[in-house]
Amino acid sequence: MSKEIEAIKDPGLPAHVHRKADTDPAAANRAERQVATLFGISALGTVLLIVSYIFVPDDLFIFIPVMGNQNAHQLGLGLGMAISLFFIGMGAIHWAKTLMPDTEVVAQRHEFRSPDSDRKEFVEAVKSGASASGLGRRSLIKRSLGAALGLSALSPLLLLRDLGPLPGKELEKTTWKSGTYLVTDPGNRRIKASDLEVGAVAQVLPEIADPEHRKLSDIAKDAVLLIRLRPQEFNLEADKLAMTHDGIIAFSKICSHMGCAVALYEQQTKHLLCPCHQSTFDVTRAAKVIFGPSARPLPQLDITIDNEGYLVARQPFSEPVGPSFWERNSQ
Amino acid sequence: MKHLSRYRRHKAAAPLLLLLALLAIGATYSVASAATSSEMTAADRSVLIEEGRQIFLKGCSSCHGLNAEGQVAPSLVGVGAASVDFQVGTGRMPMADMSTQAMRKEPIYDAAETAAVAAYVASLAPGPEIPAESSLNYERDGNTAEGGELFRNNCAMCHNFAGQGGALTQGKYAPTLMGVEPKHIYEAMVTGPQSMPVFSDKTITPEEKLSIIKWIKAAEKEPNLGGASLGRVGPVTEGLLGWVLGLGMLIGVAVWLAMKAK
């Protein structure tokens, strides 16, 4: 064991290799010209920037392969600035690497502990500062400063309140009531069951008195997707089937996983896809989850028609819509 | 007559006469052609349908069945002329192979042949009709802002917020809407081709459909003020480019910085 360790010898530092420019004046001149060229390119970049700023109209578009149609004005500004800055740096590095002295210097680390004289000086500076401020004598300043500092610590504490208040029952309620009409979004027009062909979808919201001022926070819970299939395509339990009307089925559009709008309806497969995490719901089986991270089917809205044939909600949603939350009773 | 003939050598007489003659010819022609186009005789129509049936038997019946009743492919009874005009007019049908989705390609049939097949399929059962040219004046009848709102609510989830298209499940996808004929966009909304659902005229009115088309056409012309659009598909390409090209360049620079000069 110990023999093996001894077998590996310290190879020491590699020998210092001189650069060509150190020994060959022609190479040094070449390096100098290279550095000058790099700085020259940088200068051209600045010229490009100035020319683009002054002479290229800001509504001129030019076609550049791969990148497509580009605004020539902005492209000139950006490229000009990038070239001017990048090549200054590149020239400086090339200069340092090829021409500046390459002697290797060893710098010893000094001790961590400051010298005693420095330490003494520091303590004296603190003491003289303390006596100059007069905090020991002027108690009014001391107390008011203490109060100000203490109170200032309250403000971040106060802002913590914005983490609350708890939503209470707010997340479980939607605008849908028994007898709420389904209206188009946008447009706010009531929908007749006969308006939808087989294979049709419609984005709907509950009818409210003042649709101009619908709150976004309400839309985020109320949005519903209406889909019409052939009634024989359903594969539903009796209670779920009773919630449909003549092949028309309504689901909350808010994904039960993370709350994205689920509305990618594939008419041929009857699948609803959530664009965020690919949860896939089977419309014919009451939005049963057939793929993806979602844990629950989309809540189904119980719909029927009124005397004139307009679609109307028979009951509110029977469960909270959207993703799980802390207080949700997930039965 | 006498006082008219007095002006026969007037210098404006010849141009005026010519203008009158042109107007007369034009008016006669337009009346005549309107009569022929709008009142296609029943006989003409049955000839067109028979023509369409012949094309259908050769090009479509192997999948859709000899009577369009559906076989490997869905039944075409009741899909309407608009459906045929969309599928055949955009080259999706006939399909090149039995892949997951019919792709847009150069149309196999010309306009006349497409019209004949459309007439034949429409004769099987009533369905959505091909929208008339006059009803597609989206520049006049559409509203871009309203179209944008409708697009974000009804189309953006599949076709991407800038109409660039996007992925669906199991290899299916929503195609890009850039460069699509207004007529074909309209027909797609009315007929619901392939994975796409139908958007009824009652829930999205014809005027609203024109607004959507107007918005798509506006999005097509939208210039890229902020540099390369990277396909306008959002953070995926931007991230890919940032990580691969941006970081690659940084690594290259770092390697060069640490390299010893020869």
Domain boundaries, chain A: 20-98, 173-313
CA distance A170 to chain B (A): 25
Q: Say if CB B86 and CB B193 are below 8 A apart.
A: yes
**Residue where a domain stops, chosen among B99, B124, B149:** B124
pLDDT of residue A17: 84
| Angle between helix A25-55 and helix A72-98 axes, rounded to 10 deg | 160
> CB distance A199–B194 less than 8 Å?
no
For residue range B136-155, what is the model confidence (pLDDT) as tens digits?
999 899 999 999 999 999 99
Name which of B170, B200, B237, B250 to mutate to probe chain A: the one with the most chain A Cβ atoms within 10 A of its Cβ.
Answer: B200
Q: What 3-state class would DSSP assign to A258?
A: coil
The question of ipTM being above 0.90 is answered as: no
When pLDDT is averaged across residues B18-44 and rounded to a whole number, the result is 72
Q: What 3-state class would DSSP assign to A70?
A: strand
**Residue where a domain stops, chosen among B221, B237, B253:** B221
Angle at B84 between CA B79 and CA B87, to 5 degrees: 115
Q: What 3-state class would DSSP assign to A227?
A: strand
- Please give the structure tokens belonging to residue A47: 């010229």
> CB distance A74–B208 less than 8 Å?
no
Block residue for tokens 């890919």: B240
Of A75, A93, A203, the CB nearest to B154: A203
When pLDDT is averaged across residues A208-217 and rounded to a whole number, the result is 90
When pLDDT is averaged across residues B232-250 and rounded to a whole number, the result is 89
Q: How far apart (Å, rounded) are the C-alpha atoms in residues A312 and B211?
A: 28
Q: How far apart (Å, rounded) are the C-alpha atoms in residues A204 and B153?
A: 10
pLDDT of B100 strictly over 60: yes
Q: Answer yes or no: is B72 within a domain.
A: yes
Torsional sign, CA A112, A115, A116, A118:
negative
Show residues of chain B in contact with A199, CB under 8 Å. 192, 197-198
Same domain for B216 and B140: yes
> CB distance A275–B203 less than 8 Å?
no
Query: With bands split at pLDDT 50, 70 and 90, how would you rate the model's confidence at B31?
Result: low
Residues contacting B213, CB < 8 A, separation 6+: B136, B138, B142, B147, B182, B185, B186
For residue range B50-72, what is the model confidence (pLDDT) as tens digits?
999 999 998 888 889 888 888 88
When pLDDT is averaged across residues A207-223 and rounded to a whole number, the result is 91
| Angle between helix B144-154 and helix B206-221 axes, rounded to 10 deg | 100
Q: How many CB atoms lie within 10 A of CB A80?
A: 20
Same domain for B151 and B114: no
Q: How far apart (Å, rounded) are the C-alpha atoms in residues B155 and B7?
A: 65
Q: Answer yes or no: is B119 within a domain.
A: yes
pLDDT of B7 strictly over 80: no
pLDDT of residue A291: 93
CATH code of the domain covering residue B86: 1.10.760.10
pLDDT of residue A2: 56
pLDDT of residue A3: 59
Mean pLDDT of chain B: 87
Query: With bands split at pLDDT 50, 70 and 90, how would you rate the model's confidence at A306?
Result: very high
**DSSP character string of B46-69:** HHHHHHHHHHHHHHTHHHH-TTS-
> Which of residues B226 and B174 earns the better pLDDT score?
B174
Of A69, A200, A263, the CB nearest to B200: A200
Q: How many CB atoms lie within 10 A of CB B163?
A: 26
Residue percentage of chain A with pLDDT more than 90? 63
Name which of B152, B153, B230 to mutate to probe chain A: the one with the most chain A Cβ atoms within 10 A of its Cβ.
Answer: B153
Block residue for tokens 């479509």: B60
Query: With bands split at pLDDT 50, 70 and 90, how would you rate the model's confidence at A330?
Result: low
Q: Give the pTM.
A: 0.74
Q: Which of A161, A243, A252, A247 is nearest to A206 (CA)?
A: A252
Q: Answer yes or no: is B60 within a domain.
A: yes
Domain count, chain B: 2
Residues contacting A167, CB < 8 A, separation 6+: A325, A327
Backbone angles phi, psi at B24, to 5 degrees: -60, -45
What H or E segment, with its residue span, contains residue A34? helix A25-55
Report the residue count for chain A: 331
For residue range B160-194, what is the model confidence (pLDDT) as tens digits?
888 988 888 888 999 999 999 999 999 999 999 98
Show residues of chain A in contact with B260, CB under 8 Å. 17, 97
Q: How far apart (Å, rounded) are the C-alpha atoms in residues B199 and B191?
A: 8
Of A98, A264, A280, the CB nearest to B157: A264
Domain A173-313: which CATH class?
mainly beta
Name which of A230, A260, A266 to mutate to probe chain B: the one with the most chain B Cβ atoms within 10 A of its Cβ.
Answer: A266
Show residues of chain B in contact with A198, CB under 8 Å. 198
Angle at A192 between CA A189 and CA A193, to 5 degrees: 140
pLDDT of residue A181: 94
Residue of A nearest to B159 (CA): A264
Residue of B nearest to A77 (CA): B227
For residue range A146-176, what is the model confidence (pLDDT) as tens digits?
999 999 999 998 899 888 888 778 888 899 9
When pLDDT is averaged across residues A293-305 and rounded to a whole number, the result is 94
> CB distance B169–A195 less than 8 Å?
no
Show residues of chain A in contact with B254, CB under 8 Å. none
Q: Say if CB B164 and CB B179 are below 8 A apart.
A: no
Of B194, B202, B208, the CB nearest to A191: B202
Of A74, A191, A268, the CB nearest to B225: A74
Of B196, B224, B229, the CB nearest to A267: B196
Name which of A102, A191, A201, A260 to mutate to probe chain B: the one with the most chain B Cβ atoms within 10 A of its Cβ.
Answer: A201
Show residues of chain B in contact with A70, CB under 8 Å. 224, 227-228
Same domain for B165 and B119: no
Residue of A nearest to B146 (CA): A186
Q: How far apart (Å, rounded) are the C-alpha atoms in residues A170 and A220?
A: 12
pLDDT of A232 strictly over 60: yes
Query: With bands split at pLDDT 50, 70 and 90, how would you rate the model's confidence at B32?
Result: low
pLDDT of B204 strictly over 80: yes
Query: Which one-letter amino acid corresponds to residue A299?
Result: P
> CB distance A68–B224 less than 8 Å?
yes
Query: With bands split at pLDDT 50, 70 and 90, how would you rate the model's confidence at B2?
Result: low
> CB distance B200–A19 less than 8 Å?
no
Residues contacting A192, CB < 8 A, separation 6+: A305, A308, A309, A310, A311, B202
Backbone angles phi, psi at A327, to 5 degrees: -90, 0
Q: How far apart (Å, rounded) are the C-alpha atoms in residues B31 and B153?
A: 44
What range does the domain containing B168 cover?
133-221
Same domain for B138 and B116: no
Q: How far apart (Å, rounded) are the C-alpha atoms in residues B193 and B128?
A: 12
Name which of B77, B196, B198 to mutate to probe chain A: the one with the most chain A Cβ atoms within 10 A of its Cβ.
Answer: B198
Same domain for B175 and B113: no
pLDDT of residue B159: 92
Block residue for tokens 């790099």: A38
> CB distance A273–B228 less than 8 Å?
no
Same domain for B139 and B60: no
Instruction: List the beta bridge partners of residue B212.
Output: none
Show residues of chain B in contact with A263, CB under 8 Å. 157
Mean pLDDT of chain A: 90
pLDDT of residue B222: 82
pLDDT of residue B120: 92
Q: What 3-state class would DSSP assign to A179?
A: coil
Show residues of chain B in contact with A17, CB under 8 Å. 260
Q: Which of B82, B234, B84 is nearest to B159 (CA)?
A: B234
> CB distance B195–A268 less than 8 Å?
yes
Q: Answer yes or no: is B233 within a domain.
A: no
> CB distance A199–B192 less than 8 Å?
yes
Same domain for B93 and B145: no
Q: Say if CB A304 and CB A288 are below 8 A apart.
A: no
For residue range A22-62, what is the model confidence (pLDDT) as tens digits?
889 999 999 999 999 999 999 999 999 999 999 999 888 88
Ramachandran quadrant class, A286 (left: phi over 0; alpha: psi -120 to 50; beta: rest)? left
**Residue where a domain stops, chosen among B86, B102, B124:** B124
Block residue for tokens 């914005």: A162
For residue range A62-109, what is the model confidence (pLDDT) as tens digits?
888 877 778 899 899 999 999 999 999 999 999 999 999 888 788 888
Q: Say if CB A290 and CB A281 are below 8 A apart.
A: yes
Q: How far apart (Å, rounded) are the C-alpha atoms in residues B19 and B30?
A: 16
Q: What 3-state class would DSSP assign to A173?
A: coil
- Please give the structure tokens belonging to residue A79: 């490229």
pLDDT of residue B1: 55
Report the residue count for chain B: 262
Kindly tell me the burial class for residue B103, based on how many C-beta atoms sit within 10 Å of its own C-beta (0-12, 13-18, 19 or more).
middle
Q: Answer yes or no: is B97 within a domain.
A: yes
